[in-house]
Amino acid sequence: MVNLKDLIIDRPQDGKFKVHRSTMTSDEIFGLEKERIFDRCWLYVGHESEVENIGDYRRRVVAGRPIFFNRDQDGQIRVFLNTCPHRGAMICRRDEGNAKIFQCFYHAWSFNTKGELVGMPDEAGYGSGFDRKELGLSPPPRVDSYRGFYFLSFNSKIEDLATYLAGAKEYLDLIVDQTELGLRTIRGSNKYHIKANWKLLVENSIDGYHVFPTHQTYWDYMALEGMAIPKNRPGIGRALGNGHAVMENDCLYGRPIAFWNPLFGEEAKEPIAQIRARLVKKYGEERTVRMAEKSRNLLIFPNLIINDTTSITVRIFWPTAPDYMEVTAWEMATKEESGPLLARRLDNFLTFLGPGGFATPDDTEALESCQMGFNARELEWSDISRGMQRAPEGKDELQIRAFWRRWHSLVAETPYEENTENGVRLGGRVSDLVQLGAGDD
């Protein structure tokens, strides 16, 4: 195996950034990722709106661990490891539902919404060392949330979530502030798998360079609908600290949040104008333009993507092997939307990012093609140097390099220095965070 320190060639002064392809194929590296990334970082669990009512629960797998989260009888959201303290069976057996009591199907121990052991058959058979209080459901070592998005960590020593999120917080604010009443996750999800390394989907999700060539069919469709698409839309890629990154572009399509487009139909003009007026009143013109007329593809390291583009899509993907991942995507909407506005949003979502939309099958094909290409092991390196020696544009790869630098520092356990590229390229000591403040158009 290539020495871990040599998996990435990062030389801003020469405009060179290369990633060794064993990062995408090696079982050994996959093992290190599990231990050094997924066991150490904050990982996405779900959104508060998924468990709106007392007793609501959702079941998930996070980094290979079965978990579930619920809203307990006092209204608090809790996350539990989905394994019985008795002998291991999974307590929660459905993906979603509402329950006052979770009863293990194996020997029928019962737990309330707080995870306390409240009943079992024939308790008298246990001796004096048996203590019900010690045998409740276990939470993961850490649980934290930011503006309704819940995360867990298997690393009890990790910094709090807000600190971890660094510059990504501002982008979550831009998304959440679009709504008066809060965001809600639309019921149901899209689940699919991709026979490719999970990091290829990270790259793809914040890659502006592929959008025109890969999704040509979409642009053809838009042209047929009379929408002229400029191929050089203004945009920017940003490193947000800690491996989080974003690609932010001027919109080429309508957004249910206050950006009308002819495809929405004349009747949508007025309601969308009203949303816009409300946002301007609350946040001012500049921030409204940013919320409504720019789109964001946000990566929260390591594997949460929030696409605030044609719609708000939350996407998480878990690798089970170096060349295989399971993807789940949810669509979010503002709570105030209903009727035609909501229908338009869902249509917008399905048209592009839905599993049978214009984008997702194309991207899946591209990623599986890359993975197959990696079988030609003689070609060892991929190139991610685009835009390395100029001010970053949306089609450049600074945001992808930000991910890889953090990935590399964790996997190889090397010091993490994210800002050197910008420092060199811009000829001064301008850090990504300084740039973030300066570039907030």
Instruction: Please tell me whether residue 84 binds ligand FES under the rule CB under 6 A.
Output: yes
Classified as helix, coil or strand, 69 is strand
Structural contact between residues 41 and 407, judged by C-beta atoms closer than 8 angstroms: no
Nearest CA among 309, 177, 190 for reference residue 246: 309
Of 107, 193, 269, 335, the one binding ligand FES by CB under 6 A: 107
Token pair for 436: 């973030």
84 binds, among Fe ion, ligand FES, none (CB under 5 to 8 A by kind): ligand FES
Name, in order, each residue with C-beta under 8 angstroms of 336's C-beta and a sequence gap of 6 or more. Answer: 179, 180, 181
Asked whether the beta carbons of 330 and 58 are under 8 A apart, the reply is: no
The HSE-up count of residue 224 (CA atoms within 13 Å, CB side) is: 6
- The dihedrals phi and psi of 271, each to the nearest 5 degrees, come to -60, -35
Question: Which listed residue (31, 73, 94, 106) binds ligand FES by CB under 6 A?
Answer: 106
E-strand spans in 290-391? 294-300, 304-308, 312-321, 324-334, 381-383
Phi/psi region, residue 189 (left: phi>0; alpha: psi -120 to 50; beta: rest), is: beta
Determine which residue in the list 34, 36, 65, 86 makes contact with ligand FES, applying CB under 6 A. 86
Taking the complex as a whole, the smallest distance from the CB of residue 240 to ligand FES amounts, in Å, to 43
Shortest spacing between CB 87 and ligand FES, in angstroms: 4
* Residue 227 makes contact with ligand FES by CB under 6 A: no
130 in contact with ligand FES (CB under 6 A): no
- The region of 99-107, 142-150, 160-168, 237-245 touching ligand FES under the rule CB under 6 A is 99-107
- Is the bond into 302 cis (omega within 30 degrees of 0)? yes
> Which range of residues in 103-111, 209-217, 333-341, 346-354 is near ligand FES by CB under 6 A?
103-111
Rule CB under 6 A: say whether 104 interacts with ligand FES: yes
| CB-nearer residue toward Fe ion: 252 or 359 | 359
Distance CA 52, CA 319 (A): 29
Q: What sign does the dihedral 340-294-301-372 (CA atoms) show?
A: positive
Residues 333-372 that bind Fe ion (CB under 5 A): 359, 363
Please report whether residue 203 would count as binding Fe ion according to CB under 5 A.
no
Which residue of 17, 30, 42, 109 would you call a contact of ligand FES, by CB under 6 A?
109
Stretch that binds ligand FES, among 87-95, 133-141, 317-325, 396-404 (CB under 6 A): 87-95
Decide if residue 89 touches ligand FES (CB under 6 A). yes
Least CB distance to ligand FES at residue 131 (A)? 16
Does 183 engage in binding with ligand FES (CB under 6 A)?
Answer: no
Residues lying near ligand FES in the complex (CB under 6 A): 84, 86-89, 104, 106-107, 109
